[in-house]
Structure 1
């Protein structure tokens, strides 16, 4: 009998992070592919057989990748340079791979010295895998044959601009796996089946109970339960850290995001009667914290990084007044100059009177007095564009009720973020705030009936009344379970990144006044939560 140990290394949702750096603050951070590279090289020194896979969302997400996509496309893609140098065996198409357009994705694939896999993204006409290769076979000398099947969340058409995915069909990941896993077992005669799925889990791993709305976006649990023959399931998309878990005999792994760690599966195999069989398998997560970044990787991006830093530090305008963000919960409970400003930029770009946007991240710093591009990208962190939808008053109310579920009221009267916006990952970006209408949300009322005031130009907004509303393309496509927007007529599509629109607006106006018109508020039984807290603190 011959024994064989395989180390499977996974990155996922790196989102363009290479250096251990927060671009918004320009301060060190415990993340980035340079740190992960050190972990990968360390694992290769320890294991004689290693398979390294990127599970998607790698070429988008930071000023580094944005600046490359907008201004440096004649150069090699910096993310692909790094993955090539690190000897990756395969990559999987993630949903954010499409954000900068199909041509940039195809350029990245052409430059890659490894295959990009996705069996369920197919040609809409022929049904064949759109990117050519649904799976990878890795045969180790005098060792086992490993099959790696690539899958991508089928939910992409709900978010992505149509021109970026034209000619593609996104098939059900479970049904696709039910076709290809037996093929790998029977036709390719592999000894181990690894499924690398850019998607996560919409069900509790122990009970199978739903932990989010069952849209088909995250089918990891069903893959384990409904597709016999999978040995290892690599996942992502949700930015979770999941390891040391087996579901229905399948070892699962999800390595977090932004290069904060490296996922690892160790598989022990034994050769009996001419074939290798699995005798043990376990997953673990290796943290990047405290790891020295790889100097070779840092050197690969220095040319790009110098240009990015120069671009980020260009002064573009001034804020008159206070537009900084210190308390994200407070910003989401009463109108704030930062949110009002972004909504006004959107309305200006779209030529409409109603807009919605979100405070995407609790780390958003707002704008200081002197504004640079760094401040713009630290506040508007996604490559969204804008869409104008024609919606009814009823749809506006449904959307506001959806946003109102962001809040939960504790027994002591304090306000917290509801679990559905925190689990399985923080989704602060799914709470919208509006300009151009007047509304109140009472979180003392049951969810679904919290909107107590809804007006347009001082008069009640009727259910049948139509408004043209500008919002980001993710939301307009129903992203964040805003299903009420699906099917609404598209009045206008504005194919310019919102961060670019914000920068252009500041450059044009030079001085921006921090204004707030208090067109909306959140209450507890009609009273301000902030005032109630201040009163409680005063009495306590």
Structure 2
């Protein structure tokens, strides 16, 4: 028996429904997705003796493919899971976006899987892991034993619709991981322990300085500093591209949307004490690149992909005027017809006259004169539903001050996007625009004192008066650190998601004539 061996770990994170090597908004080919990754996995498995393939969560939501699957094909095998089954994934981790379509879709995906889904800190009322296993062990050649424990950011209740997470307790990921790492070392005695965490880093990896308010959403840095016995920490959630060693723990994060994957090589030696010792560890983040997609996967995907493309190409309405987005920054500082359209949909559906929305991504292009389903899902990619909250005038002003943090002034005194909304993770979706009230954001004023002249129906907004406001469910639960919305009275919940509501709006108003109301101003 050889005294040396190696282990190769390859893993994905935040695939977000990207199975096929295309961009659905334009249908252009792209170097991303699990079909291409499958080719790489097979090659690595053929060339290496000890290979461990993992997925770190946020797998089943994020593309029109998956939206269409849930709407029309949910009685069939989840295609994302079907691909991972075929490429030999050993374990997956529950991500926060796994809950977006509801618990039934997630449980079906888990039941479809030939591999376990790990999340030690998501527990039932008895304190046991809700989704089954907290960890796995696997033995390789030369009696090499590897353990993988999975945990999920416990911040999910701050974002997700309560009905999607009923019966699940979200325990602190850091404390839970510490407990299970100690247990695994005592009971399993693995040669290598891998923690796979659907979460990211709350501090600068070099200086240790906080990079976000320490809410507990991301705890990767603390895990490396405070937990003994982790050899490798696989991370995700933030969509960052990084490798580093922190306090002796090798960490990695492979971006998002299946554009890259993590590759970790571990060297081991058992010359001393007849026990494997780690002698080297190296991590790389590698682009999927121009490799051909796996033919077996393309064949497996053919039927649902064809159905998805037919669905996307359906014309459903028309725009009279220009509703295309040329500059996302300008769209956020001056009322744009597309934002007006979304506000109008929310107001008509909810029956209230104050609405909140955001331009969800800088990739949004708005609508051309003929609107297809492809246009809708490209602009509104999250399966958000709507909630009407009862808020006081002072709470509305507090929310406006929160959204005003999106802007700062550069050295020339020009308004720009606050860098914290760009790195380490783009969060443009956390800048809100309001309808039904008039207001000014004065960026030259200090944070917390930027909102001026807030009026409702021509009168000053009253701090102690109650107002009904419609917004998406993510924001209504306080998502994006809008804590002023947490636990506020819910007047109405609209269970249809925004894709359905926009479709229904076009059914009612076949041709939408643009009519932009300039109700806010961003200035210095």
Q: Confirm or deny that 1:249 pairs with 2:248.
A: yes
Aligned residue for 1:42?
A: 43
Q: TM-score, normalised by structure 2?
A: 0.98
The correspondence of residues 256-335 of structure 1 with structure 2, limited to 5 A, is 256-271=255-270, 272-335=272-335
User: 1:19: how far off?
Assistant: 1.2
| RMSD over aligned Cα atoms | 1.0
Query: d(CA) in 1 for partners of 2:432 and 2:33?
Result: 30
User: 1:413: how far off?
Assistant: 2.6
Query: d(CA) in 1 for partners of 2:3 and 2:368?
Result: 64
Aligned residue for 1:382?
A: 382
Aligned residue for 1:444?
A: 444
Per the alignment, in what secondary structure is the counterpart of residue 141 of structure 2?
coil
Aligned residue for 1:455?
A: 455
User: 1:293: how far off?
Assistant: 2.1
The correspondence of residues 352-431 of structure 1 with structure 2, limited to 5 A, is 352-431=352-431
Whether the aligned pair in 1 keeps the contact of 2:38 and 2:293 (CA below 8 Å) is yes
Gaps of 5+ in 2: none
Query: d(CA) in 1 for partners of 2:495 and 2:73?
Result: 19
Q: Confirm or deny that 1:22 pairs with 2:40.
A: no
Whether the aligned pair in 2 keeps the contact of 1:39 and 1:262 (CA below 8 Å) is no
The correspondence of residues 37-436 of structure 1 with structure 2, limited to 5 A, is 37-123=38-124, 125-243=125-243, 245-271=244-270, 272-436=272-436
Whether the aligned pair in 2 keeps the contact of 1:441 and 1:453 (CA below 8 Å) is no
Whether the aligned pair in 1 keeps the contact of 2:50 and 2:141 (CA below 8 Å) is no
Per the alignment, in what secondary structure is the counterpart of residue 371 of structure 1?
strand
Aligned residue for 2:7?
A: 6
Per the alignment, in what secondary structure is the counterpart of residue 262 of structure 2?
strand
1:191-236 residue CA offsets vs partner (Å, 9 max, x unmatched): 1110000000111111111111111001111111111000000000
Query: d(CA) in 1 for partners of 2:367 and 2:288?
Result: 31
Gaps of 5+ in 1: 525-540
- What is the number of residues matched between the two proteins? 522
Aligned residue for 1:537?
A: none
User: 1:280: how far off?
Assistant: 0.8
Whether the aligned pair in 1 keeps the contact of 2:116 and 2:132 (CA below 8 Å) is no
1:367-388 residue CA offsets vs partner (Å, 9 max, x unmatched): 1111111111111111111111
Aligned residue for 1:533?
A: none
Per the alignment, in what secondary structure is the counterpart of residue 522 of structure 1?
strand
Query: d(CA) in 2 for partners of 1:289 and 1:365?
Result: 26
Per the alignment, in what secondary structure is the counterpart of residue 246 of structure 1?
strand
Whether the aligned pair in 2 keeps the contact of 1:91 and 1:116 (CA below 8 Å) is yes
Per the alignment, in what secondary structure is the counterpart of residue 26 of structure 2?
coil
1:109-165 residue CA offsets vs partner (Å, 9 max, x unmatched): 111111110000000x20011111000001113231101000000011111111111
User: 1:414: how far off?
Assistant: 2.4
Whether the aligned pair in 2 keeps the contact of 1:185 and 1:191 (CA below 8 Å) is no
Query: d(CA) in 1 for partners of 2:514 and 2:479?
Result: 30
Q: TM-score, normalised by structure 1?
A: 0.95
User: 1:300: how far off?
Assistant: 1.5
1:214-269 residue CA offsets vs partner (Å, 9 max, x unmatched): 110011111111110000000001111112x1011000011110000110111111
| 44-53 vs 149-158, greater mean Cα deviation | 44-53
Query: d(CA) in 2 for partners of 1:9 and 1:276?
Result: 21
Per the alignment, in what secondary structure is the counterpart of residue 143 of structure 2?
coil
Aligned residue for 1:538?
A: none
Aligned residue for 1:530?
A: none
User: 1:65: how far off?
Assistant: 0.8
Query: d(CA) in 1 for partners of 2:432 and 2:196?
Result: 33
Query: d(CA) in 1 for partners of 2:414 and 2:289?
Result: 34
Aligned residue for 1:535?
A: none
